[in-house]
Amino acid sequence: MTRPQILALVPARGGSKSIPRKNLILVGGKPLIAHSLEQAGASRFVTRTVVSTDDPEIAAVARTYGAEVPFMRPAQYAEDLSPDVDVFRHALNWLADHEGYRPELVVHLRPTGPVRRVELIDQAIALMLERPEADALRSVSMPVQTPYKMWRIDGEYLRPLLTLNGLAEPYNLPRQNLPEVWWQNGYVDILRPRTIQELGLMCGHKILPFVMDEPMLEIDYVENLPIVEEALARLARGEPVGPNTSGRRFSV
C-alpha cells in the first residue's frame, strides 16, 4: 500500500506586534519555530514539512531544523490580518503548480503553540485518515466559561450572545443544564487540500472533533515565557504538561 502523503505546513511570518521577531525568540534554548518543526519531524505520519514565511531569517532557521522552504510567501499574505485560507491556498497552489505535489492531508502546526505531544498529533492524523468523508479536523477542549453566559453590548443595553428556544433566560441556569460546547484550542488542525482549493474554506462543512484536555500554551506575551519553558521541560521529562485546565488556553 502506498504511504499517504501528509504535509505539515507551519506558517511563520516575520512580523509580530506583541513580541518582535516572535517566531525566532529562544524558548527552551531553541528558536520558537523549531519546536513545531521537530514535532512534525518526529511524527510517524508526516512525510514532508514546509514552512510558509516571508522572512529570509526564518527560512534559514527552518531549513536548519529540517524543514523545506521551497517558496517565499508574498507580502500580501503576510500582513497582520491576512487570513489563514489565503496562506494555505498559496502554499498548496505553489506546490501543485511547481512540483505537481498534492498531499492527501495538511497538518496545521502553529509555531506559537510549542508545547505538544507528538503522539496526540499522530492520533489526530490517524483519525482523519480513517474518515475520508471529513473535510477537516480541529482539536477542541472544554471551555472555562460557557458562551451561554456571555453578553454583547448593543447600544445602551446588554444582549445575550446566545439564546435557547423555549428558555427566556438560559444565562441564569446552572452550567450543567446548558448545552455542551467545545472550544477550538489550536493544538493541531488538519484539513484536506480540496477543502481550501475547491470550497475556499479552512474547515469546510464536515469537521471532525479531536477532543482533548491537555492544556494549550500559546506565546503571546514575553512576560510569561517561563510558563511555556517549564511546560517544555516537563514534556521532555515525560511528565504531565500541567493540570487539567478544562480547556483553558494559556495566553503567555
Amino acid sitting at position 107: V
Where do the CATH 3.90.550.10 domains begin and end in the chain?
A: 6-141+183-251
Bridge partners (DSSP) listed for residue 250 = 217
Could you report the per-residue pLDDT of 211-235, keeping only the tens digit for each? 998 888 888 888 778 999 999 999 9
Class of domain 6-141+183-251: alpha beta
Indicate the helix (H) or strand (E) that contains 216. strand 216-218
Q: Which among 148, 186, 193, 151 has a CA at the least distance from the CA of 167? A: 148
Could you report the per-residue pLDDT of 100-159, keeping only the tens digit for each? 999 999 999 999 999 999 999 999 999 999 999 999 999 999 998 999 999 999 999 999
Predicted confidence band of residue 35 (pLDDT cuts 50, 70, 90): very high
Nearest 10 degrees: CA dihedral of 139, 60, 17, 89?
-50
Predicted confidence band of residue 244 (pLDDT cuts 50, 70, 90): very low
Q: Give first-to-last CA distance, the chain, whole Å.
A: 44
How high is the pLDDT of residue 243?
55
Q: How many CB atoms lie within 10 A of CB 178?
A: 17
Could you report the per-residue pLDDT of 183-218, keeping only the tens digit for each? 999 999 999 999 999 999 999 999 999 999 888 888
CA of 238: how far to CAs of 116, 130, 234, in Å?
Answer: 12, 28, 6
